[in-house]
Chains A and B, each alone.
Chain A
């Protein structure tokens, strides 16, 4: 007992190999933040709808043409809270600006007809440095059939096993895609007014595309449709 410090150190110097996987922890945190972003996007969408109804009852919301007028405010995108850590930047073959422009140019052919942004003249991607990914969000449809859509394009996590965003087991559906891509689809919140359908496409070109739609179940596009969008050759980060 004379040298308790030495005894304590000796008592703990036979550590077995650790089961702690730092990469696994970072991946877990990244998944958590993605889920949170999609949930936040849904919250923003609901607030936007409520706000529009509150401010101008009975009046239709701004059309895409109105939003794209020259007096429209500069296009801004909300980013993640600053308390969250940045992730290591994955080397890509093009600059972030080039990737944003290229991915944005792909969107009109991929998105459902009538997809629009409430903040920007057009639906466009932006780079999210804290997640090291590219994101876009849009509104589709009108009235009760209106739903929000979010797309996240990110570099594939090495060794990642295809998985659904929110569900496991029978609630998670695997959809094989031409070219070897695997889409994992789930639908959560079916006991709410606006369930969320999520499709994560794990592509052979080392790109992962997550698409989430939130709205009335009848209005949501089927998972196969979202899987097709996520498998589009243009939505790659390695052109």
Chain B
């Protein structure tokens, strides 16, 4: 099969997953699409090499994570100033939507690398060792980052629910 067609087939089958992972990493669908576009362009440039890897998905995940961390380091991301505090989402519906808001708010309170650990472990279902390989750190770091992230999310989620319930 022609490699151009292979590339399209590969991306077509995974685009939804890439976008969802990027959204969970950054919390914004527009930025998520930007991140995925950048990752897909890099994938296209290196497709011949990446396509023969055991796990091409791992390459895309790494590029996504790198793009996210680079994006967060950009000057316009370092400081956010508001004339008034940003409004919290006005949610009047209970159930799945409430949970969605709560989990995204809890994710948003994590540091970028903790967020990446949570997405790799619980969205992609990677093992500690696999996550460590993708983030280029030790399994021990993954374990400690996971524990801290989960603790932070646990403490954040009830607050969010209280806020919504008024």
Binding site for B on A (CB under 8 A): 1, 4-5, 7-16, 18-20, 22, 25-26, 28-29, 82-89
Chain B nearest Cβ from A183, distance in angstroms? 28
Instruction: State whether A15 touches B4 (Cβ < 8 A).
Output: no
Q: Can you list 6 A-B contacts (CB < 8 A)? A: A4-B122, A8-B122, A8-B123, A10-B96, A15-B29, A84-B48
CB distance from B95 to the nearest CB of A (A): 11
B37's nearest neighbour on chain A, judged by CB, is: A20
Residue of B11, B36, B118, B123 with highest tally of chain A CB at under 10 A: B123
Taking CB atoms and an 8 Å cut-off, the chain B residues in 88-106 that contact chain A are 96, 99-100, 103-104
Main secondary structure of the interface of A (DSSP, over half): loop
- If A12-B20, A15-B23, A84-B45 touch, whether A89 touches B2 (CB-CB below 8 Å) is yes
A184 and B12 alpha carbons, distance in the complex (Å)? 34
**Cβ-defined contact, A19 with B33, below 8 A:** yes
Are A4 and B37 in contact (CB-based, < 8 A)?
Answer: no
Looking at B4, B5, B8, B119, the one whose CB has the most chain A CB atoms below 10 A away is: B4
B contact face: mostly helix, strand, loop, or mixed: helix
Query: When the two chains form their complex, are residues B48 and A20 in contact, meaning their CB atoms are under 8 A apart?
Result: no
Partner of B100, one of A1, A14, A83, A88: A14
Report if B163 contacts A (CB, 8 A): no
Inter-chain contact B15/A25, CB cutoff 8 Å? no
B40 contacts A by Cβ under 8 Å: yes
B148 in contact (CB, < 8 A): no
Q: 4 shortest A-B CB distances, which residue pairs?
A: A12-B20, A85-B47, A88-B4, A4-B122
Tell yes or no: B154 within 8 A of A by CB: yes
Complex contact A29–B41 (CB within 8 A): yes
Q: Is the CB of A10 within 8 A of B11?
A: no
Cβ contact of A25, chosen from B37, B107, B123, cutoff 8 A: B37
Tell me which residues from 77 to 135 in chain B have a Cβ below 8 Å from any Cβ of chain A.
96, 99-100, 103-104, 107, 118-119, 122-123, 125
Distance of B22 from chain A, by nearest CB (Å): 9
Chain A hits for B41, CB < 8 A: 25, 28-29
Max chain A C-beta neighbours (<10 A), residue from B5, B30, B33, B36: B33
Q: Would A7 and B8 count as touching, CB distance under 8 A? A: no
The answer to whether B154 touches A1, judged by C-beta atoms less than 8 angstroms apart, is yes
Contact B49 A83 (CB under 8 A): yes
In the complex formed, the residue of B with least CB distance to A5 is B122
Q: Smallest Cβ distance from B1 to chain A, in angstroms?
A: 11
Q: Is the CB of A88 within 8 A of B33?
A: no
